[in-house]
Amino acid sequence: MTTMKFIYSTLITISIIIMSSCTDDFQNINTNPNAPIEVETEFLLRQVIYDYGEQMSYEGFAAGNLLGQYFTAVDFNLFDRHSLSEPQFGGNPWPIIYTNLRDNELILKASLENPIDAVYEGPARILKAYMTAALTDIFGDVPYGEALQGKDGNVTPVYDLQEDIYLGDEGIIDNLDKAIIALESYSGTQTLRGDVLYDGNLDNWIKFAKSLKLKYLMRIKDVANVTFELFDLISEGGFISDNSENATFSFTDGPPNNFRLATARVGDFNLYVMSETMEEILVEYNDPRIETFFRPTGADDSVYNGLLNGPNASETSVSIADYSLSGTVFREQTSLLQANFMTAWETEYLIAEAAVVGAFFGNATTYYNRATELAFEFWNTEMPQDYLTSGPAAFVLSGPEADPLKQIITQKWISNIINGYEGWIEYRRTGFPEFKTVAASLNNNLIPVRMPYPTDEEALNGDNFSVAAQATDGNSINAKVWWDIQ
């Protein structure tokens, strides 16, 4: 018995020693040296830019183009009939934006904590401002200040007011200002790697930031006192001014980096035809970009025809042969297509608008004409010689028939095709171009003015969701966001 007790005691002692040794070295033994725990900053930057650009370009085609009345869906698409809580091929930008904001926050954190990554601070702040603006302009009040803190235990963030997201500390405008300072003062030797927008050119990132600041100040100018800030910004200049400086990246003709519609089934591709709204505007303007964006009808290759948005497929028979499908740039020739963050033509249209509304003492006609030339160039379409001198595209600043704001926004709307939800957002801000009531509306013939919060929010963040829902008339798509005073 004594011998058995000794053997038992010895075994326990050995086990304790072994367990202690394993515990002391557990992390080293069980860590794969070939599988790093943290992703290098350059790979995160490349991932954020490409993933956001690719996904939101497709979102822009499949959902944003329906809200913006560029395309019409011919199947049983309830989203096109404005039941926005029933997304189908697109219509759910919330997880796309938050996922990339989360990854971008890792870049920003590294840039502030590791001197070797300091060069990433400016781009990370710019991307944070850009993605946050898309998020809040689509949904309104959203989790922001307490968002992205799940790792620290906060999985139920409060919803911030859109006004605070724009104008508060660490908000959209503040991040752009801090980004410009960080980029202009950077004196390190580390290059910006992983940059698929500008290949590490910091000067172009500064132009990107200034152009975005112009865009967002113009967006909120009717509800915030930013007149002097706008004037100073435009007077200082330094914006994106040429298509070579655009914040864009090109898709390819083949996988893996072609536009997603290129690999879609023919049946899915055939779901989208030109909207009647788009047809009427392009035909009125005698605009050759109709041949870039769309194909002639299958019934007659000399005719381009659009369909009123939101048909009820259960009651209306639609033959796609009678309507114009999307152009080859979205399918067979996607190397001609670019994921668009910010462009020279958008910047020039913004300055033209600022001149029209008195926020800047410049020649609106000059900026409008330059913007339109750049927009045609961007879409690889030759502009007719008389496009800007005769007809509805010729800019008219004064007189009984003048409506310069309508002309500026309509031109910007045309070129913003597939650019996320921009066309719809600008329509909500300005009322231009004039949208049509959809054929079989599921929203009482009203054009939605915000996207509803996802249903997951009610389940996962119920208390805070309830507050936000109450502020939007029960998460209504007809409750205007802060800057929308139309």
What are the backbone dihedrals phi and psi of residue 199, each rounded to the nearest 5 degrees, phi first? 50, 40
pLDDT score, position 460:
94
Residue for token pair 């800019």 = 395
Q: What is the pLDDT of residues 440-455, one digit of tens each?
A: 999 999 999 999 999 9
- Per the CB < 8 A criterion, the answer to whether 476 and 140 are in contact is no
- Per the CB < 8 A criterion, the answer to whether 69 and 275 are in contact is yes
pLDDT score, position 2:
39
List of residues 6+ apart from 426 with CB closer than 8 A: 409, 412, 413, 416, 432
Rounded to whole angstroms, how far apart are CA atoms 389 and 448?
36
Confidence of residue 302 (pLDDT cuts 50, 70, 90): very high
Residue 39 has pLDDT above 90, yes or no: no
pLDDT score, position 3:
38
Domain residue ranges in the chain: 41-255+336-471
Cα–Cα distances in angstroms (integers) from residue 221 to residues 88, 138, 163, 359, 364, in the given order: 35, 18, 12, 9, 18
Type of residue numbered 121? E
Residue for token pair 């009482």 = 444
Consecutive H or E run containing 4: helix 2-24
CA gyration radius for the chain?
A: 26
- Per the CB < 8 A criterion, the answer to whether 287 and 52 are in contact is no
pLDDT score, position 28:
45
pLDDT score, position 149:
84
Residue for token pair 């209306």 = 316
Rounded to whole angstroms, how far apart are CA atoms 306 and 322?
9
Rounded to whole angstroms, how far apart are CA atoms 190 and 203?
15
DSSP 8-state symbol, 143: E
pLDDT score, position 115:
96
Higher pLDDT, 5 or 313: 313
Return the bridge partners of 159, or none: 143
Residue 225 has pLDDT above 70, yes or no: yes
Consecutive H or E run containing 338: strand 338-342
Confidence of residue 351 (pLDDT cuts 50, 70, 90): very high
pLDDT score, position 129:
98
pLDDT score, position 288:
98
DSSP β-ladder status, 272-274 and 159-160: unpaired
Q: What is the pLDDT of residues 188-222, one digit of tens each?
A: 999 999 999 999 999 999 999 999 999 999 999 99
Rounded to whole angstroms, how far apart are CA atoms 362 and 352?
8
Return the bridge partners of 212, or none: none
DSSP 8-state symbol, 36: -
Residue for token pair 């803190």 = 149
- Per the CB < 8 A criterion, the answer to whether 331 and 269 are in contact is yes
Q: What is the pLDDT of residues 91-115, one digit of tens each?
A: 999 999 999 999 999 999 999 999 9
- Per the CB < 8 A criterion, the answer to whether 111 and 41 are in contact is yes
The phi-psi region of residue 394 (left if phi > 0; otherwise alpha if psi is between -120 and 50; otherwise beta) is: beta
Q: What is the pLDDT of residues 271-300, one digit of tens each?
A: 999 999 999 999 999 999 999 999 999 999
Catalogue the long-range contacts made by 106-111 (C-beta closer than 8 Å, 24 or more residues apart): 106/39, 106/41, 106/44, 107/41, 107/44, 107/45, 107/48, 110/41, 111/41
List of residues 6+ apart from 474 with CB closer than 8 A: none
Type of residue numbered 324? S
List of residues 6+ apart from 69 with CB closer than 8 A: 275, 277, 278, 309, 423, 435, 436
May I ask the CATH class of domain 41-255+336-471? mainly alpha
Rounded to whole angstroms, how far apart are CA atoms 482 and 311?
31
Q: Sign (positive/negative) of CA torsion 193, 199, 201, 202?
A: negative
